[in-house]
Amino acid sequence: MRPARDALIWFAAIIAASALAFWLGGYATDVYRKMLIWVALALSYNFLFGIAGQVAFSHFAFAGVGAYGVVILAHKLGLPFGAALVLALALCALLAFIVALPSTRLEGFYLSLATLAFAQLVIVVISEGGDLTGGTGGIANYRLPSVFGYVIRGPWYTVLLVLLVAFTLWTLRRLDYSAFGRACRAIRDNAVAAAAMGVDVRRVKVQAFTLTSTLAGLAGIAYAYIDNVINPPVFGIENIFLLLFMVIVGGSGSHIGAIIGAVFLYLAPFVLEPIVGHGFLIVFGVLVVLTILFQPSGLAGLLNRRPARGAT
Partner 1 sequence: MTGKALIAVSGLTKHFGGLTAVEDLGLELFPGEILALIGPNGAGKTTTFNLIAGVSRPTAGSIALAGARIDGLPVHRIAALGLMRTFQHNMPFAGMSLTGNILVGCHTNCDGSLFDILLGRRRFRDREAAARRRAAELTEFVGLQERIDHDVSTLSFGEGRLLELARALAGEPRVILLDEPAAGLTQPEMARLGTAIRDIAARGIAVLLIEHDMHFLFPLAQRIVVLNFGRKIAEGTPEAIARNPLVIEAYLGEAVGGVVARPAHA
Binding residues for partner 1, per CB under 8 A? 171, 174-175, 178-180, 182-183, 185-186, 188-190, 192-201, 207, 211, 253, 306, 309-312
Q: What is the DSSP letter of 139?
A: E
Nearer to partner 1, 136 or 190 (CB): 190
The minimum distance between CB 171 and partner 1, in angstroms, equals: 7
Give CA separation, 168 vs 41, 82, 165, 174, 222, in Å: 9, 20, 5, 10, 12
For the chain, how far is it from start to end, CA to CA, in angstroms?
Answer: 11
- Rg, the chain, Cα only: 19
Selection from 241, 251, 240, 194 nearest residue 213 by Cα: 240
CB 255 within 8 A of CB 169: yes
Nearer to partner 1, 151 or 197 (CB): 197
The minimum distance between CB 208 and partner 1, in angstroms, equals: 10
Nearer to partner 1, 230 or 299 (CB): 299
The minimum distance between CB 306 and partner 1, in angstroms, equals: 7
Task: Looking at the chain, list the stretches that DSSP marks H as alpha helix, in order from N- to C-terminal side.
Answer: 3-23, 26-45, 59-71, 81-103, 108-127, 130-133, 155-176, 179-189, 191-196, 201-224, 237-251, 255-276, 280-294, 298-303
Nearer to partner 1, 207 or 231 (CB): 207
Give CA separation, 99 vs 50, 54, 115, 137, 285, in Å: 19, 13, 8, 27, 30
Nearer to partner 1, 133 or 214 (CB): 214
Residue type, 234: V
Nearer to partner 1, 33 or 205 (CB): 205
CB 212 within 8 A of CB 92: no
Selection from 37, 46, 35 nearest residue 184 by Cα: 46
| Cα 255 to Cα 44: distance, rounded to the nearest angstrom | 9
The minimum distance between CB 41 and partner 1, in angstroms, equals: 20
| Cα 215 to Cα 258: distance, rounded to the nearest angstrom | 15
Nearer to partner 1, 71 or 194 (CB): 194
The minimum distance between CB 188 and partner 1, in angstroms, equals: 7
The minimum distance between CB 76 and partner 1, in angstroms, equals: 32
The minimum distance between CB 293 and partner 1, in angstroms, equals: 17
Nearer to partner 1, 50 or 138 (CB): 50
Give CA separation, 272 vs 258, 278, 295, in Å: 21, 9, 22
The minimum distance between CB 66 and partner 1, in angstroms, equals: 19
